[in-house]
Amino acid sequence: MKKLFYLTTALFFMMSCNQKPNSFLQNWDTPYGLPPFSEISESDYLPAIKEGIKQHSAEIQAIIDNADAPTFANTIEILDHSGELLAKVIGVMFNLSETNSSKTLNKIVEKALPLLSEHNDNIFMNPKLFEKVEQVYKNQASENLTTEQQRVLDLIYKKFIRNGIGLDAEKQTRLREINKNLSSLEQKFGNNLLAETNAFKLILEEKDLDGLPQSVREAAAAEAKSAKQDGKYLFGLQVPSYIPFMQYSERRDLREKMFRAYSSKGNNGNENDNKKIILEIMKLRIEKANMLGFATPADFILEETLAKTPQNVMNLLDKLMPASLQKAKEEVVEMQKIIDAENGGFKLEAWDWAFYAEKVRKAKYDLDEDQIKPYFQMENVREGVFACASKLYGVKFEKLNDVPIYYSEVETFKITDENGDLVGILYTDYYPRASKRGGAWMNNFRDQQVINGVDIRPIIVNVGNFTKPTPEKPSLLTIDEVETMFHEFGHAIHGLLSKCNYSTVSGTSVPRDFVEMLSQINENWAFEPEVLAMYAKHYQTGEIIPDSLVEKIKNTATFNQGFVMSELVAAAILDMNWHALTSIDGVDVEAFENQSVKNMGLIDEIIPRYRSTYFNHIFNSGYSAGYYSYLWSEMLDQDAFELFRQNGIFDPATAKSLKDNILSKGNSEDLMKQYVKFRGQEPSIEPMLKGRGLK
């Protein structure tokens, strides 16, 4: 018996010694504090989240237990800087769940979300903590706070109010349930959408490829080979596969099949159907808004934006829709003429638009995108993005090879300023895969802030779903993909150049209808001749893109903008209609959407950019009642870039003003004041209308 005891003890000791320590609970001995991805196990997440919540809760309790009179320093500053371990874990978990997910990780996130929701509510529904915050808020005049500190205090105080601190115990309990359920439902919506996108596969023979350029065929052949369908061609619903097929395929029947698959994502009556989830989400959002004193979710959400009210948003959209539709109808006439001239014998349908728009582009502007793509090798475009930022803001980029990455295609860059000081670290992750959700975005692994006098620089990721390289060719980007890369880097530079003291306001922690201004203004440089000369080099010859092609790109700047704006405005109106609901009683998702489309006057040949069942922005990605922000921000970015047009696109004084007054400021002072300091005036809608060819 004694021998058995010793053997059991020894075995337990060996197992304990062999058990890998939780990576998140160790100091990361990595360059620049980057996450050691290869050392992180999926089993690390939940224990680390629970420990992070425990530590964060202790920090909150310490604020409450402090017997000294509440001040900004001993209450607000500590609250802002708290939760370091938790931020470390969720920074990795949420980034990887979107870029390199697995069934196991998805389940972990589903388990984590209710824990995180409950923890957030425990903080912002804590009456003793709020009592301290409220005392600081009421006594702020006596503290001589900086503008940034006043802003942080105001935002944190309002966060308590908007999280239900003023509700009675029964309503707070219900609000906690709502928050938990919403987080789970929204994650489920996104998981369903990813599954739907991955599920559709159109496998073709060579005889089915009429009209498709060689580059598109090569990419489809590579996808088929990866799916063990050698000798065939695979097309899917990921944008780099879907868009070129719709642009070039002469098989109208297959274009219709692709279109119907794309436009019915999440609406197929299967286990991934999102209709019921949408209604459950909206029911809870309406209840939450009402509980907090607002008539609709839109009223609640927009209170803290530049737009302020749903009516202000609709005023903008109502100005844009008629002009967009008029332009779109003119585009329909042009395409129908081509169909009739070819004796097509049919009326233009939604699945024909991209195909015949491409024909119009070739006929009207003599522009074939396949002529241009050889000048847009991904690596060269990225160098152009970096070179443009260097010229504007004085930053330098250095490729890092021996640092941790989370996927083999990811690349890492160190950014420094004119003095050689670290600005931040940037990951780029540009190609689609089954484990990555669709679209393009920027996110942080680590926020910028100053703690104990140390400026903690951000770790940022730019993600895309661009055209993949093939065995025959490198990644050659479309015009839209080039613009998207510049767009996402606009978000990145906003985060990288942040010079704030508090994470509450640092970097991109600004309302949606302001944050997109910084990404969209960066798009303006993409196709300027001076910028194209920096990066648009033929992938085989190294020849700089000829002036004739640059002129063609310039001439097509307003091409197809009736379609682009109509589908964008339609999606924004659909979003606002969902979030203007006061009840879901009797609401059928398809009927609601169809009525919305009819009311806005959208023509049959165009659908909203995102239909409800795959509108990830508003049902999973934080843009609820906020999709309009791209248009509101475009008004800002076009008005702002007008100053560069006047002074020179690389004018040092204008670039410095943008950097000092907006890019580095985050949300540390009133956003319209930031804008006016840079621009000298409030924004006008005229440059936007002109830029879109709508005026």
Which residues have a catalytic role annotated? 488
What's the pLDDT tens digit per position in 513-532? Answer: 999 999 999 999 999 999 99
pLDDT score at 18? 52
At 368 the pLDDT is 85
The CATH number linked to 312 is: 1.10.1370.10
Same domain, 351 and 387: no
| pLDDT tens digits along 638-692 | 999 999 999 999 999 999 999 999 999 999 999 999 999 999 999 988 898 888 8
Determine the Cα–Cα distance for residues 515 and 442; give it in Å rounded to an integer: 11
Burial class (CB in 10 A: 0-12, 13-18, 19+), 261: buried
482 within a domain of the structure (yes/no)? yes
Please report whether residue 28 resides in a domain.
Answer: yes
Residue 2 has pLDDT above 50, yes or no: no
Indicate if the pLDDT at residue 10 is higher than 70.
Answer: no
Q: What is the pLDDT of residues 574-593, one digit of tens each?
A: 999 999 999 999 999 999 99
Instruction: Tell which of 575, 597, 619 closes a domain.
Output: 619
Q: In this structure, are 155 and 15 located in the same domain?
A: yes
Q: Give the residue from 213, 237, 263 where a domain finishes.
A: 263
Averaged pLDDT, 321-346: 96
C-alpha distance from residue 390 to each of 164, 398, 493, 584, 661 (Å)? 45, 12, 11, 51, 18
Q: What is the pLDDT of residues 292-320, one digit of tens each?
A: 999 999 999 999 999 999 999 999 999 99
Residue 1 has pLDDT above 80, yes or no: no
Give me the mean pLDDT over the 83-98 stretch.
97
Q: Is residue 192 part of a domain?
A: no
Confidence band for 370, pLDDT divided at 50, 70 and 90: confident
Confidence of residue 17 (pLDDT cuts 50, 70, 90): very low
pLDDT at 14 over 50: no
The pLDDT tens digits of the residues spanning 413-463 come to 999 999 999 999 999 999 999 999 989 999 999 999 999 999 999 999 999
> Residue 474 to residues 138, 471, 540: CA-CA distances in angstroms?
60, 8, 10
Residues 95, 461: contact at Cβ < 8 Å?
Answer: yes
Residue among 172, 398, 198 nearest 288 (CA)? 172
Closest CA to 488 of 443, 521, 441, 444: 441
Residue 183's pLDDT band (cuts 50, 70, 90): very high
Same domain membership, residue 438 and residue 323: no
- The predicted pLDDT at position 336 comes to 98
Identify the domain boundary among 619, 638, 659. Answer: 619
pLDDT, tens only, 234-288: 999 999 999 999 999 999 999 999 999 999 999 999 999 999 999 999 999 999 9
Distance CA 449, CA 433 (A): 33
The number of beta carbons lying within 10 Å of the beta carbon of residue 10 is 10
Identify which of 605, 608, 620 has the alpha carbon closest to the alpha carbon of residue 573. 608
CB-CB neighbours of 53 under 10 Å = 20
The contacts of residue 18 (CB under 8 Å, 6+ apart) are none
Q: Mean per-residue pLDDT for 309-337?
A: 96
Pair 455, 506 in one domain = yes
**Is 448 among the domain residues?**
yes
Burial (Cβ within 10 Å: 0-12, 13-18, ≥19) of residue 342: exposed
Same-domain pairing of 89 and 17: yes
Residue 200 has what pLDDT? Answer: 96
566 and 474 inside one domain:
no
CA gap 98, 100 in Å, rounded:
6
Domain identity same for 379 and 502: yes
**Taking the model in full, what pTM does it have?**
0.92
Does 184 reside within a domain? no
What does pLDDT average to over the chain?
95
Among residues 29, 33, 27, 37, the alpha carbon closest in space to that of 92 is found at 37
Rounded-to-integer distance, Cα 72 and Cα 70, Å:
7
86 with 206, same domain?
A: no
Count of other CB atoms within 10 angstroms of residue 322: 12
| Burial of residue 333, with CB atoms counted within 10 A of its CB: 0-12 exposed, 13-18 middle, 19 or more buried | exposed
Question: How far is Cα 307 from Cα 318, in angstroms, rounded to an integer?
Answer: 14
Q: Are 338 and 653 in contact, with CB atoms under 8 Å apart?
A: no
pLDDT in tens, 273-299: 999 999 999 999 999 999 999 999 999
Q: Above 90 in pLDDT, residue 3?
A: no
Helix (H) or strand (E) holding 638: helix 629-647
The pair of structure tokens assigned to 384 is 């152009």
Tell me how many domains the chain contains: 4
Tokens of residue 447, six digits: 């926020």
Give domain status of residue 529, yes or no.
yes
Q: What does the pLDDT read at residue 11?
A: 41
pLDDT of the residue at 691: 86
Determine the Cα–Cα distance for residues 353 and 95; give it in Å rounded to an integer: 35
Per the domain annotation, does 190 fall within a domain?
no
Tell me how far apart the terminal alpha carbons of the chain are, to the nearest angstrom: 92
Four-CA torsion 369, 375, 379, 385, nearest 10 degrees? -90
Distance CA 231, CA 204 (A): 9
Measured CA distances, 283 to 33, 570, 621 (Å): 42, 23, 18
CA angle 406, 190, 197 (to 5 degrees): 85
Phi, psi of 659 (to 5 degrees): -65, -50
CA dihedral sign of residues 437, 440, 443, 445: positive
Residue 581 and residue 526 share a domain:
no
In a domain, 453, yes or no: yes
| CATH code, 491 | 1.10.1370.40
**Domain match, 253 and 293 both:** no
Q: 111 lies in which domain range? A: 7-166
| Shared-domain flag, residues 342 and 482 | no
What secondary structure letter does DSSP report for 76?
Answer: I
Clarify whether residues 89 and 140 are in a common domain: yes
pLDDT at 113 over 50: yes
Give the type of residue at 320: L
Q: Give the pLDDT confidence score for residue 12 in this predicted structure.
A: 43
Residue 137 has pLDDT above 80, yes or no: yes
Half-sphere exposure of 558 (CA within 13 A, CB side): 11
